[in-house]
Each structure stands twice: as C-alpha cells, then as structure tokens.
Amino acid sequence: MSKGEILAGFLAPHPPHLVYGENPPQNEPRSEGGWEPLRWAYERARKSLEELKPDVLLVHSPHWITQVGHHFLGVRHLAGKSVDPIFPNLFRYTFELEVDVDLAEACCERAAQRGLTAKMMRNPKFRVDYGTITTLHMIRPQWDIPIVGLSANNSPYYLTTEEGLDEMDTLGKATREAIEKTGRRAVLLASNTLCHWHFQEEPTVPEDMSQEHPQSYDGYKWDMRIIELLRQGKTSEVFRLLPQFIDEAFAEVKSGAFTWMFAAMGYPELPGELHGYGTVIGTGNAVMEWNLVKAGLAASASGPAANGRESALYGST
Amino acid sequence: MTIVSAFLVTGSPLHFLRPDNPPWKTVIDGFDRASRALAMSRPDALLIYSTQWMAVLDALWQTRARVSGVHVDENWHEFGELPFDMTVDTALANACVQATKAAGITAKGVDYDQFPIDSGTIVATRLLDPEGRIPLVMAANNLYHNTATTERIGALAAAAARSQNKKVAVIGVGGLSGTVFREQIDIQQDRIADQNDDRWNREILRLMEKGDFPQLDAKGLIYAQEARVDMGFKHYSWIKGAIGRRFFGARVHGYGPAYGAGAAVVEFRL
C-alpha cells in the first residue's frame, strides 16, 4: 500500500441556511434563495474538490459535542432525517452516507496512542449532526465520496481554550498518521464559522438579504484580519492570535476543527485561497482552501509531490 | 391549586440505560419513588424544562401533538437507544408560546416531524411517567437566557396552566455539579469526581430539604460557578418560577454520580 496523504484542507462552515437557500431535493423547506455569495463560494470549492479526486472526506463538526473523548463515526452506512434543533424551519434534510470505517478506526487508534481518549460510534441508529451534514452537502452534494466524521470534544470549553486546542492539535497529528498509514488520499473539512456573534431574532422571511449583515463590526474586523493573514500564508501568526480572536469575536474555531485541520496539514505557511465570505444571521463565514497538491506538498492524481518544497513551506509539525 | 407537584431530576441517560449499575442504583430507585409521588399528585400535564434541549434564537416550546421515535445519545451511544412516544398538551403549549411573546420574550412553537427530542426530556419522562399517560409541555433551554429570564418563563407557564384550569406538575431536568471524568472509567466505580463538588451538592440538597429559600437564593450563584453546575442551575430557576418562589421543604429521593457529575431526584413539598 502506498503512503496516504492529505490533498487539501477546507474551512467549510455549516450554516443550514446555505442548504435552505440552495433548495436541494433532500431538504423539505423551500426558499427563494439567499446567501448567494457564500453558496457561490462553495461552488468554486466543489470544482476544486472535483479535481483533487480524494478517496475520503474527513469532517470535524462542532455540533457533535462529546464530553468523554473524541468520537468517530464507525458504522459503514448511516441514513436518516436530520432536523436542525435551532433552525428546524430551514433544515429538515434526508441524508444517506458511507463511512470509511477502516480510516476512522485508524484515526481512533492513533489518537489513543497519542494519549487522547478516543471512541468509535458503532450504533447504527445514531443520527448524524446537522453540522456534519451541511458541510458535506455544501462541498459535495453528490454524496459519492466516503467520509469520516469526528466529534468535537468539549475540551476547549471544559478546560482552558489553550488546553482544549492542544488536544485538537494532537487529534490532527493522529489523523494525519492514520491517513498516511491507510494509504488514503484525503481532504479535510473544518466545519467552523469565524466570528460567531449573531442576531437573536430571525427575519420573517429568513432569506431576506436586506436583513443580513455582520452582527458586530468588531467581529467583522477580526474576521478580515484573520482572513488576510490566512491569504498571505501567515499561519503561525494566525495561531498566535487565535485565543484572542476566539475571545473577542466569540469565534467558533474554539470548538477545534480549524486547529485539527491545520495540525493534520502540518501548519503550512501556505496562502489560503478565499472562495468567498459572507454572513449568516450575522455570523462571519469564510470558505477557504489550502490546496497541498497545487503547492507541491502532495501528489496529484497523476503525479508525485514536489518534495523539495516541503521543508520550506511547512511550519512546526 | 395549579401546581400539584414539582421535581428536579437528572437528565443523564446513564441511569436509564444501565439501571443495574450499582453506583447509579440510588438515582434509579429515587426515580421510582418520585414516579409514585407524581402519579399520586394526579396532574393534567407536566411542565418540563430540560437543560439538554438547547435553543439559541427564541424561547421554544414543543407544539407537535405527538412525538415519537428513537434517540441515540451523542455521548453514550454504546449503551443503547432511548425510544420515546410522547403526547403534548398542545392547547397549553400554544398558550405558553403566546404568554411568552406577550411578556416580550421572543418565542416559537416547534411542530416538525422528527424534531430531535433531547436525552434529558426522554429520560425524565420515561422514568417519571413510564406509561406516558400524562401529556407534556416541553420548554427549551435558550442558552442566552439567564436564571431570571428562565424563572420568568417558568412563571408564565404556570400562569398559562392556571388560566386553563389545569393541574400541572413542574419538572426541571438537569444535573448538579459538572465535573466529569474525561477518560474512560469502569462504570461500576463511578463516583462524584470532585470532593468539593460533592460537598456543594449535599449542601444545596440539604437547603432544599429544609426549604431554606433565602439561603438557596444566596448560595445558588456561587454553587453554580464553583461546582460547574449544569447550565448554571437554570432548571432550578424554572421550577422556582413555576411554583412562585415558595416551597416548604423537599425530599431527596436519590443522589449519586453520573460519570463524575452530580445527579439527583428531588421532590419539593408545596
């Protein structure tokens, strides 16, 4: 078996409004559209994903919250209807997905070897959370690529932010080892919003975009600062600022997906491609891509990685 | 009398799913006694608030006439499923929506097929009313509501029941102290994870037994902070609001651990 690798990572937020705005057949409620710039951002991300031809998508979702350990979906086929408990008027989605259980088990095993509490979710009646489903639908609506779903252990909230994100860093490194060991060509999805200050009331017509704008100007400025640094590839500076960003912008990246993804990729000082930014009920959402194939840090479907560039681009691993 | 009984109970699925586990037996036995007390109070409906039904935008009330299905807990999936079949007192639930709105708190009814019912609501209703005979009014825990707002919503629910001449039982579902074991343990060795938490839990339960309302009010906030109490002890605020800030004592039917956290079954004397 050849050594597996991570092809790309995407910041892929999960507001159910985006699915609602798109009106896919799986979702019951109908809309007149809305949040187009973010949905178009996902269209660009979809094209890029198509070119990468990954074996598997791994998604870390803040809406599968676990207290004891980091959990991994461990049932090959999961299906059901996901109703968003916060926005049931917008998201009632019939899903069906295939899990790469072998990779999930490898991730779980590696996480345990690195000292984390880790657990497989084997109950076939388990209902997959709407964050996982929204991110997966928005990035790959065909649902034809197996997935690995990771829970968000509540350590950044239960412990200090720094202690919790240290766990996510370890989880990311374990994830990379598992991908390499199992020979998978993988894409990582960090299902996180940036600034998470939001309005307390929904407009009468949820997709009325005349009502949509950042809830907080300070939060918006934080988002732009972080995105600009990410666009410049200043990854270490972003992670230096991350606790302050989380604190001042109530950023959802606190839940760990963003750190998990960057740790798995080795914190590359690589300019991220911004596919688009927009607000959803006032929160800041960016769809961004770090394409390790284009950067020569991973092999494309038809060629090897430009290994010589690796040491120049990678930060601490 | 509108409020015929009131209970504060744990919403952890562990006791329901593994009732024979020795450390969890006291809480299960407590639920048995509370269940009998609830039946004897002969309510027309249960007003139930669970910390595990989390809302963000509004005060949510379940308004679907019947909700049924199988829930698998996000944390404790390895222990099995939580089947449920619940009847909702829709007239009272809709009145609660209207009353909440009229009080200036944004509110909505929730009436959707397969809306996710939380573990706490399922566990409490399955253990307190195993036959599912009593219709429910279910209220969500809006994460942005503080204890005062939650107390106010509890009072509004009781007033709505009064206006419909209904006798109701009030149930606040949530945990006590919140320190948990973060690693796998042998569940037969479960205990309250932190001694200070245990002291705090026992002190609060003792004040409830004495009916020492002023001391409970004085210490509630410190308790919530120092013992990491589930959702700031808002489930107690719900009960307090619904019963009009007045009870004469309480009977602690059971107290024990839930993977290190504190769990209890308490019946208030009204």
Q: Does some domain include residue A316?
A: no
Supply the pLDDT for residue A103: 98
In which band, very low, low, confident or very high, does the pLDDT at A317 lie, cut at 50, 70 and 90? Answer: very low
Total domains in chain A come to 1
How much is the mean pLDDT over chain B? Answer: 96
Q: By C-alpha distance, which of B163, B17, B32 is closest to B98?
A: B163
Encode pLDDT of A259-304 as tens digits: 999 999 999 999 999 999 999 999 999 999 999 999 999 987 665 4
Encode pLDDT of B164-182 as tens digits: 999 999 999 999 999 999 9
Q: Mark yes or no for CB contact A88/B70 under 8 Å.
A: no
Of A66, A117, A201, nearest to B74 by CB-CB distance is A66
Q: Does some domain include residue A36?
A: yes
Classify A139 as helix, strand or coil: helix
Q: Does some domain include residue A116?
A: yes
Supply the pLDDT for residue B1: 77
Q: Does some domain include residue A314?
A: no
* Contact with chain B for residue A209, Cβ under 8 A: no
Q: What is the CATH number of the domain that holds A120?
A: 3.40.830.10
Q: By C-alpha distance, which of A216, A209, A211 is closest to A201?
A: A211
Q: Does some domain include residue A203?
A: yes
* Number of residues that this document lists for chain A: 317
Structure pTM? 0.93
For residue A297, report the phi and psi dihedrals to the nearest 5 degrees: -100, -5
Encode pLDDT of A79-99 as tens digits: 999 999 999 999 999 999 999
Chain B CA closest to residue A199: B57
For residues A299 and A301, give the distance between their C-alpha atoms in angstroms, rounded to a whole number. 7
Q: Does some domain include residue A40?
A: yes
* Contact with chain A for residue B115, Cβ under 8 A: yes
How much is the mean pLDDT over chain A? Answer: 93
Q: Does some domain include residue A315?
A: no
Q: Does some domain include residue A161?
A: yes
- What is the mean pLDDT of the segment spanning B185-210? 97
Other beta carbons within 10 angstroms of residue B104's beta carbon come to: 8
In which band, very low, low, confident or very high, does the pLDDT at A1 lie, cut at 50, 70 and 90? Answer: confident
Supply the pLDDT for residue B209: 97
Q: Mark yes or no for CB contact B72/A127 under 8 Å.
A: yes
Nearest chain A Cα distance for residue B214, angstroms: 30
Encode pLDDT of B114-162 as tens digits: 999 999 999 999 999 999 999 999 999 999 999 999 999 999 999 999 9
Which residues is B169 bridged to in the sheet? Answer: B5, B46
Range of the domain at A36: 5-308
